Structure 1
Amino acid sequence: MRTFNILSLLPLAAVTLLATFVRASNVVTLTTENFDSIIGQGKPALVEFYASWCGHCKRLAPVWEELADAFSGAYQKDRVIIAKIDADIEKEMGQRYGIQGFPTLKWFTANDLKNPTDYNGGRELADLAAFVTENSGIRSNIKSAAPSAVKQLNAGTFERETVHSGKDVLIAFKAPWCGHCKSMTKPYEAVAQAFKSEPDCVVAEIPDSDSEFNRDLAAAQGVSSYPTIKFYPRDGSSPIPYSGARTEEAFVNFLNEHCGTHRTPSGGLLETAGRALPLDKLASEFFSTPSKADREAIMQRARDVASNLTVKAGSAPAYYLKAMERVLEKGEDWLKKETARFTKLADSSSLAPAKKDEITIKRNILASFVKRTFDEAAEAVKAAESVVGEATKSVHSVYDQATQAVKQEL
């Protein structure tokens, strides 16, 4: 009887099992021989020129595979190419396209082999996929996520978006391999979302500051470690290093101070938004004066003050005056009713952010007509306490004097 050795089949079984789990890559591998027959032949292509020893290339590799997978479905297949070529080995191709560093990413249109454009955006999957979709019209099969509110910059857009933008810009210089950079992604995104309604206060980043394309810019900006965060004022003055905590609250406080904004970490407005101290004082004086003639005189003073104010929320000065007019016409009850109405509207989830800001500012201004009366009451209480204190001291003094007199007589 022949014996059958099952152990002899194990190596073959292992190889078969391994093959089951190794799937073919959707990234097209290019060489000098096949490059011209694949690229520029009717399909657009995003090509990575890499070197096997390049650390940045190794970190990009899994993302590049995911990108190819994202455009390999039934709809996308054979309509756009995601490819790579080892330009360190295929030196002829590297020289043809002027490759200076690795990885270099180039976009080739469907029928143009000679004039590719450089890709200088972020190297996250979402950034790359968005670029391919924008330039090819082909959607990826990536499930859509909320777009980032963080503005993406690079060496090509830096000057335009800072020096010549007329805006305040907070920029995080980051590197893909940096652990601290990854840790701050969530709070930084939250801050960008909170400030997205502020057109002149921008939250931005250069995600690959250490890349060949951005390296000179980073050096010129004094970046020696990652992340480096700097605030670029709208007036073009020297950038201000950010050295605070990398938390939502710390970032928000910093931006409010330097942008002159009044945001909360959730994106709402503080009670100070839209307010102007000179008009607050007049609103308090107006509300505390029962005489109609006096109120009309105060309103005229408010007009003079408002005409000379530069307030970021342009409608704010006008609303102080409007509120004074309504109180003169409809009485003080109008303040309570309008405040209640605005409070109810501000709590509505269907309200557009810009409209919610407008309502919050108006409600803040109405508060200047009410809260100051409580301040005055508090001052009155404080004054009364002072009087009582002085009176108490006087009583004790008289008591002590009487006691001494009695002792002397005894």
Structure 2
Amino acid sequence: MLSSKAHTPGTVTVDTFTFDKIRENFNVVLAKFDDKYPFGDKYDQFKKFAENVVNTKNLLVVEIPITEYGDKENQQLAKEYDVKKVDYPVYKLFLKDKSKPIDYTGDKTEDDLKRFLSQHTNLWFGLPGTIEELDHLAQEYFYASSNNDVNTQMSLLEKAREQVKRLVNEKEKKSGESYVKIMESIIKQGTEFLKRERRRVQNLLQEKITNEKKKEFQHRANILLSFKSLKESITDTIDAVKENVVNTGK
């Protein structure tokens, strides 16, 4: 259904005159270049995304509507950032300490947009299967592991175990146990375990598996994103994981 509004709740609509001011005053800006009145599944996914990240600290989601008629709104911005109509919607991530934006090339779904932001920022979006408190512990845990700080590793592992014990929801408890098992494996095998586990999950996603198993392994991949090494190094790998999920579904 055609949208009757040029503005999506949870976002800020900007133009050629205001975009630079916005970009300079926020640490993380996700910009969507699109038709002025978008519609369809991709727009529905964006609406869900915008609604669900509205309270995420330090993130601003902006819309840049582009028209090819009348005043030809924001054509200058489209040209400056090499945005083409055939690619709508086009997403670009602007970080305050980066001179150039990061182009988004993944599937245009709510979860994939969150996953993209998780790879390139320290923001927390609640990817399926993840738990905020354990995500923070996972990041600390990786730093300690990288520095061979065994005492801190053991302390954080114990904190994670205690948090999992307090979980009531069975799905959350299962996710919590995954965090703990990953931490235990890092103690035994070092941080190289993360790369091996990532490859294992990729391979499993390539196999013919049930939707339930596919969901389980995707949750595992999301949890692995909580460990800092993966956030810094697996952009291409996560794209491959998503492609594998699509192929498996087919």
Please give the TM-score of this superposition, normalised by the length of structure 2. 0.53
User: Residues 305-356 of structure 1, C-alpha deviation per residue, up to 9 Å, x if partnerless?
Assistant: xxxxxxxxxxxxxxx9xx6xxxxxxxxxxx74x6544x35x99xxxxxxxxx
Aligned to 2:111: 249
2:95 corresponds to which of 217, 230, 233: 233
Quote the Cα distance in structure 2 between the aligned partners of 1:177 and 1:376. 49
Check 1:219–1:283 CA distance in 2 against 1; reply closer, same or farther (3 A cut). same
User: Residues 147-204 of structure 1, C-alpha deviation per residue, up to 9 Å, x if partnerless?
Assistant: 7223322223211111x124221211111366xx643111112222333232223322
Larger RCO, structures 1/2 (Cα 8 Å, 6+ apart): 2
User: Residues 68-121 of structure 1, C-alpha deviation per residue, up to 9 Å, x if partnerless?
Assistant: xxxxxxxxxxxxxxxxxxxxxxxxxxxxxxxxxxxxxxxxxxxxxxxxxxxxxx
C-alpha contact 1:167 1:200 (8 A) present in aligned 2: yes
Deviation at 1:372, TM superposition (A): 7.4
C-alpha contact 2:6 2:65 (8 A) present in aligned 1: no
Check 1:283–1:236 CA distance in 2 against 1; reply closer, same or farther (3 A cut). closer
Aligned to 2:36: 176
One-letter identity of the residue aligned with 1:254: F
Check 1:216–1:375 CA distance in 2 against 1; reply closer, same or farther (3 A cut). closer
1:219 corresponds to which of 79, 86, 94: 79
Deviation at 1:233, TM superposition (A): 1.7
RMSD between superposed Cα atoms in Å: 4.2
Aligned to 1:201: 59
Aligned to 1:272: 135
**Structural mapping, 1:10-409, within 5 Å:** 124-125=4-5, 127=7, 148-162=9-23, 164-176=24-36, 182-210=40-68, 211-225=71-85, 226-265=88-127, 269=131, 271-274=134-137, 275-277=139-141, 278-279=143-144, 281-286=150-155, 336=162, 339-341=164-166, 343-344=167-168, 371=181, 375=185
Quote the Cα distance in structure 1 between the aligned partners of 2:94 and 2:26. 10
Q: Please, which runs of 5 or more residues in structure 2 have no aligned partner?
A: 190-250
Check 1:221–1:259 CA distance in 2 against 1; reply closer, same or farther (3 A cut). same
Structure 1 counterpart SS, 2:120: helix
Deviation at 1:258, TM superposition (A): 1.2
One-letter identity of the residue aligned with 1:282: N
Structure 2 counterpart SS, 1:202: strand
C-alpha contact 1:169 1:202 (8 A) present in aligned 2: yes
C-alpha contact 1:169 1:201 (8 A) present in aligned 2: yes
Q: Please, which runs of 5 or more residues in structure 1 have no aligned partner?
A: 1-62, 64-122, 128-146, 289-319, 324-334, 348-359, 380-410
Quote the Cα distance in structure 2 between the aligned partners of 1:282 and 1:184. 47
One-letter identity of the residue aligned with 1:272: D
Deviation at 1:228, TM superposition (A): 2.4
Deviation at 1:126, TM superposition (A): 7.9
C-alpha contact 1:193 1:267 (8 A) present in aligned 2: no
Deviation at 1:236, TM superposition (A): 3.8
Q: Report sequence identity in percent.
A: 19
C-alpha contact 2:4 2:37 (8 A) present in aligned 1: no
Check 1:372–1:228 CA distance in 2 against 1; reply closer, same or farther (3 A cut). closer
Quote the Cα distance in structure 1 between the aligned partners of 2:110 and 2:126. 9
Structure 2 counterpart SS, 1:229: strand
The count of corresponding residues between Structure 1 and Structure 2 is 174
One-letter identity of the residue aligned with 2:82: G
Tell me whether 370-379 or 247-256 shows the greater mean CA deviation.
Answer: 370-379
Quote the Cα distance in structure 2 between the aligned partners of 1:287 and 1:173. 42
Moved over 6 A (4+): 376-379
Structure 1 counterpart SS, 2:61: strand
Instruction: Tell me which structure has the larger Cα radius of gyration.
Output: 1
Going by fraction, where is helix more abundant, 1 or 2? Answer: 2
Quote the Cα distance in structure 1 between the aligned partners of 2:186 and 2:54. 38
Quote the Cα distance in structure 2 between the aligned partners of 1:267 and 1:283. 25
